[in-house]
Amino acid sequence: MINYNPKEWFTFIFRFHKADTFRKLFPLMIAVSLYGFILAYLELEYWSLINSSYVKNLSLMHSVLGFVISLLLVFRTNTAYDRWWEGRKQWGALVNVSRNLSIKLAGYLEDESDRLYLSKLIPLYARTLRGHLRANVNSDEISDLVEIDKTHIPNQIALRISGRIFELHKQHKISSEQLIILTKDIDVFTDVCGACERIKNTPIPFSYNVFIKKFIFFYVMTLPIGWVFSFGYFVVPIVVFVLYVFASLELIAEEIEDPFGSDANDLPLDTMCNNIEKHVKEILN
């Protein structure tokens, strides 16, 4: 995730970074500019369609379609941001429950070995959930605590935490009331995992996604046909700018609808995992 000062807005105009859509769209913008120039030349110089009222009236159609495509892109962007924000709330809940569970365990447990073991397992859940969502679990950091025998590693970590809590209850190190309180916190781990999997595994419907891309493509490709008589060869940069705006909104929506990756605009999962580990160890150790 990119850290920035939102008050320094003037610097954003001249700043380019790897997440900027201009870099990704630059080859397509060059191709569209060549297409627009060739089409403008043919209409103005070769075909001589400047007196054709049918071609001129295409600009009216583009005005209506531009309003429609703007509404579609607003809905698309809002839907993608809702997924990004929902992922942020779930990981915020994971941070909070890790701290709350650690604080309660620090008050309940007197045995240092029990506290040390759980201080390793609780942050391990966050790290394995991050790897699970990215389909890249680091087995080296798990092997010394948990035997990997299943595909869903976060469930194994939650099972070890819950099993250790119940074992402490059998050893009369925590009471039944304390067990109930701790179990509620452990349930939140699985709830967060399920919510993140729902976001990860439920993309925007395929037909809707394809329709927007086709709509943008045909809208931009037909712009020079009607606008060339109003703007002349200036229609080339105008069409490229329209493409940049519409396609950038679609690219941004694609990037943030899966907030658990390692792109520049994704959630800072590495930072949150490190914070969980630091805070849990401060509390339990």
- What whole-number distance in Å separates Cα of residue 211 and Cα of residue 201? 21
Report pLDDT digits (tens) over 222-266.
Answer: 888 877 777 788 889 999 999 999 998 888 888 888 899 888 788
* 8 A C-beta contact, residue 229 and residue 55: yes
Q: Which residues contact 179 (CB under 8 A, 6 or more apart)?
A: 165, 166, 169
Report pLDDT digits (tens) over 3-18.
Answer: 655 566 666 655 666 5
Share of the chain above pLDDT 70, in %: 83
Distance between first and last Cα of the chain: 30
Which position has the higher pLDDT, 135 or 277?
A: 277
Q: How far is CA 242 from CA 12, 62, 164, 227, in A?
A: 20, 12, 59, 12
Nearest partner of 155 among 117, 115, 134, 186, judged by Cα: 186
**pTM of full prediction above 0.75:** yes
Report pLDDT digits (tens) over 165-184.
Answer: 999 999 999 999 999 999 99
So where are the chain's domains?
Answer: 22-45+52-84+205-256, 93-202+269-284
Predicted pLDDT of residue 182? 93
Residue type (1 letter), 183: T
Report pLDDT digits (tens) over 56-82.
Answer: 566 677 777 888 888 888 888 999 999
* Range among 89-93, 139-143, 207-211, 255-259 with highest mean pLDDT value: 89-93
Q: Over range 134-158, report the average pLDDT.
A: 72
Predicted pLDDT of residue 206? 85
Q: Is the pLDDT of residue 86 over 90?
A: yes
